[in-house]
C-alpha cells in the first residue's frame, strides 16, 4: 500500500470530528485563502484530496468540478456538504497517485494540503499524475504548509508535529517544490498566504 493509502486509517477515525477539530484553523486561516485557489479558474476542475469538501463554497461559478479522496469516510462528509450547499460536483474515491482519469482531462487542478499527507517518495509520482491529467495550458495550484523560518513559530510547529502526524498522517516539512522539475512541471509562482507557514504553489506543464 502506498503512503497515501495508509491515510485511510486516521481519516476514517477522525472524519466525523474533522471539521470540528479544524474549525479554529478554518476560521482564522483557511477561509480567507481558499478563494485564491480558484481565481480566474474555469472549465473542468479537479479538487484532489477533497476531504470533507471545505473548498466547495469557493468553486468557480459554472465550473464542472470533480472531487477525489482516498478516504470513504471523508467523502461521506463531503457528500453531506455537497447536498447542503447544492454544489454541482462529482465525488469519487480515487488515489491521487493513480487517478484513472484520461490524459488532459482537466482545465485546472487544486490540492489543499494534500501533499502534506504524502510521504517524500510519493511527492514526485503524485505531481506527475496531476500533470498528466491537467491540460498543458492549465494550472495546478497547491496549498501547503511549510516550517516557519521564525525560531519561535518553528519551535511551536515542531511541538505540534507529532500530534499532526498521529491525527492526520501529515507533516509540515514536505517541501513539494523540490520535486517539481522532475515531475515535468514548472514552478510559476510560490507565494505565502498566511505568515510564512502556508504557501501557494502554482505549477504548469513544461
Residues 141-154 pLDDT 10s: 999 999 999 999 99
Average pLDDT value for residue range 15-25: 72
Confidence band (pLDDT; 50, 70, 90) for 111? very high
SS3 of residue 60 by DSSP: coil
Please write the tens of the pLDDT for every residue from 51-76.
999 999 999 999 999 999 999 999 99
Return the pLDDT at 2. 34
Return the pLDDT at 130. 98
Average pLDDT value for residue range 23-36: 89
Domains in the chain and their CATH numbers?
5-205 (3.40.50.150)
Exposed/middle/buried for residue 115 (C-beta within 10 Å: 0-12, 13-18, 19+): buried
Grid coordinates belonging to 98? 493513480
Exposed/middle/buried for residue 29 (C-beta within 10 Å: 0-12, 13-18, 19+): middle
8-state DSSP, 160? H
Return the pLDDT at 60. 97
Amino acid at each position: 500500500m502506498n503512503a497515501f493509502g495508509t491515510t485511510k486509517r486516521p481519516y476514517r477515525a477522525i472524519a466525523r470530528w474533522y471539521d470540528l477539530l479544524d474549525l479554529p484553523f478554518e476560521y482564522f486561516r483557511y477561509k480567507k485563502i481558499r478563494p485564491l485557489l480558484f481565481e480566474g479558474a474555469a472549465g473542468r476542475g479537479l479538487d484532489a484530496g477533497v476531504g470533507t469538501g471545505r473548498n466547495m463554497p469557493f468553486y468557480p461559478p459554472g465550473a464542472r468540478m470533480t472531487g477525489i479522496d482516498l478516504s470513504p469516510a471523508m467523502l461521506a462528509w463531503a457528500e453531506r456538504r455537497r447536498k447542503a450547499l447544492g454544489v454541482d460536483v462529482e465525488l469519487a474515491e480515487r488515489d491521487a497517485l493513480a487517478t484513472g482519469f484520461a490524459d488532459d482531462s482537466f482545465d485546472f487542478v487544486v490540492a489543499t494540503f494534500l501533499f502534506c499527507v504524502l510521504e517524500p517518495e510519493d511527492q514526485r509520482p503524485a505531481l506527475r499524475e496531476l500533470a498528466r491529467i491537467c491540460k498543458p495550458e492549465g494550472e495546478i495550484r497547491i496549498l501547503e504548509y511549510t516550517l516557519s523560518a521564525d525560531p519561535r513559530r518553528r519551535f511551536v510547529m515542531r511541538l505540534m508535529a507529532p500530534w499532526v502526524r498521529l491525527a492526520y498522517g501529515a507533516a509540515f516539512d514536505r517541501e513539494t517544490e523540490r520535486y517539481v522539475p522532475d515531475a515535468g512541471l514548472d514552478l510559476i509562482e510560490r507565494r505565502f498566504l498566511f505568515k510564512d507557514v502556508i504557501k501557494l504553489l502554482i505549477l504548469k506543464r513544461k
